A and B are shown apart, each in its own frame.
Chain A
Amino acid sequence: MTKVEESRGDAVAKPVLTLPSPHNEDWHWSRLNALEALSGEEHGQFPLPNQSSFWSGLTGPKLLFVDGVYQAEASHAGPVKVEAVTEKSQNPLGKMTNGQIGWTLNLEETCAEPIEILYLGSGGAYHMPSSIRLAKNVSATLVETYAGQGWSNRFSYFDLGENARLQRLARLSCEGGFTSLIEEGSLGEKACLITDWIGNKGADSRIDQRFDLNASGAELMSGGAFLAREKQRHDIMIITRHIAEGCQSRQKLRALADDQSTVSLAVRTEVASSAQKSDGEQSLKGLLLSRDATVNMKPELEIYADDVKCAHGAAVGELDPQALFYLESRGIDPEEAKDLLIQSFVMEAFISKPDSLLYSTWLHDTEHWAGEK
């Protein structure tokens, strides 16, 4: 169980966290004990990064949050409202966002321009929920960027109506600290939620995505590339339950670990006996750039229906020496050749259509990681 309490009687009230440990969590490797220190920190420990480099330059809605507080003067919220969120999470970290002020998006019509949300942190912790509802046949694109320092603890609830479609990109670009994303929700008939995550900076991260596909033909597509170096840890768990007929789920995740970093990918797809004609695919790949780095993988399928198509694959390796030589034989120096192969590896996980903003942002973040050596 998780709880946040206020220590009574101290001059400065510090939160006391009770967090799950690896002993009572399956297949999680993130170091939640670090959160206690982050949670006790004041905001303002670190200078905020320059926000201008994180915006796309497009004219769509833009919201800026600093340490979890909405910055109205630097935002153009459009259809997004900053308010309390009614949905609650039962996830140990998600629970900490229950009852907090967050943001909601209720779209009755398609939003042509991408909605961008930037969360900057200066240290300390914030816990913020959000709720996204798309009505029948509505489409939207969402880009969320986490930058700066501290612990960003986010719960996102998605409710997509029949045939609705949400494409989203989540950029885990905090220099340090911890980013936790808890994602849950409900997809209507033939609704489609496409998520691409990219972790390209120094913060540890944990992603917990859990969906039940209760409406026929719903699609849940999740792609992610998690690039880690030094002693960083990325910890991703996706649990998808196919309940209705004809649903699709894809998880394409890439782990790239350098130095003594650890990237862990655990993906579980359950197909209930009622979920005939399910189509599931798990593709997990890891690339080790150092002999001291670790990639953990656990692709898991549990199938009770008899007319389904489900595939899973997991592979961990090093950079392909044949490919490196091929690039070098064309005049590309070894470092650039290595970067190109890293890009090649990462781009495989990009699921959204090569839409100009999402694709170019993803590419930029990958190149940024490679260029930071």
Chain B
Amino acid sequence: MSKLLEIRNLRAEVDNKQILKGLNLEIGAGEIHAIMGPNGAGKSTLSYVLSGKPGYTVTDGSALFMGKNLFDMEPHERAAAGLFLGFQYPVEIAGVSNLHFLRAAANAQRKTRGEDEISAGEFIKIASKEAKALGINPEMLKRPVNVGFSGGEKKRNEMMQMAVLQPKLAILDETDSGLDIDALRIVSESINRVMRQPDRSVLLITHYQRLLDHVKPDFVHVLAKGQIVRSGGPELALELEREGYGELVA
């Protein structure tokens, strides 16, 4: 299977503090990988480094995304290339409607890829369809981005963005946090529906098995002290749930 993402010996720091310390990870097309690990292990840092957040400095190593050096690209170019980050804490943007923002994002990606812009009418149809699938009130599309949304609504909105933007690789940082049981099911269905495709992949960052009950991972990794310290199949998550990280982080 072709590799969508290949990370080699990745070292990265924030505020001069080394967080990732030689991380290796390969994600093939059509695969779902879960990363688990204790607090402070570097899970969110990994997601920010891959998506290009300012302040996160790569000091060594490489990351190839569909054969291209990810670190040669600006954040918006990474997104246009097909990388999507589902934020743990989605940002509120007052004064810009969800629909306006989503269309701006979709068209910006198309522009970067040299494609024609999508018309307002066509876009509304797509967005409304995805909103319906996620149980999002169409009125929410008119509201400012994430402003006044509950935690669950924000996460559903992230999934809405993912569904509209149709990325190749979705890095979902604790998408399950703050979700009630029904919302977790809806969000999981969305991940499966949008991303369970032969040419798409998911990197799920989570603390809990419950998300993995709905989105079955092909691989589970344990990230501790800035490195992948163990990898396995879905059974690894069950083992971690049962026994904790124990010696893995000692």
Contact = CB atoms under 8 A, between A and B. Distances in A.
Interface of A: 320-323, 325-334, 336-337, 340-341, 343-348
Contacts of B51: 329
Nearest to B86: A329
B109 A343 contact: no
Interface in B81-132: 84-85, 87, 90-91, 93-96, 101, 104-106, 108-109, 112
A368 B102 CA distance: 21
A331 B109 contact: yes
Contacts of A320: 91
A332 B105 CA distance: 5
B54 interface: yes
Given A325-B53, A336-B104, A344-B144, A331 B93 contact: no
Contacts of B108: 330-333, 336
A340 B87 CA distance: 19
B95 A346 contact: yes
Interface stretch (B28-36, B71-79, B239-247): B71-79
A332 B76 contact: yes
B50 to A, nearest CB: 10
5 contacts: A328-B52, A329-B79, A340-B96, A345-B95, A347-B96
Given A325-B54, A326-B87, A344-B144, A331 B95 contact: no
Nearest to A340: B96
Contact of A322 (B79, B91, B109, B161): B91
A327 B52 CA distance: 12
Contacts of B144: 344
Contact of A332 (B54, B95, B104): B104
Chain A interface helix/strand/loop/mixed: helix
A334 B161 contact: no
Contacts of B75: 325, 328-329
Contact of A340 (B78, B101, B165): B101
Contacts of A347: 94-96
Contacts of A333: 74, 76, 108, 112
Contacts of A341: 93
Nearest to A330: B105
B215 interface: no
A212 B109 CA distance: 52
B80 interface: yes
A329 B90 CA distance: 11
B139 to A, nearest CB: 14
A330 B162 CA distance: 9
Contacts of A330: 76, 79, 101, 105, 108-109, 161, 165
B91 A326 contact: yes
A331 B79 contact: yes
A341 B53 CA distance: 17
Nearest to A341: B93
Q: Which of B104, B112, B144 has the most CB of A within 10 A?
A: B104
Interface-centre pick from B52, B101, B109 (highest chain A CB count, 10 A):
B101
A343 B165 contact: no
Nearest to A333: B76
Nearest to A324: B54
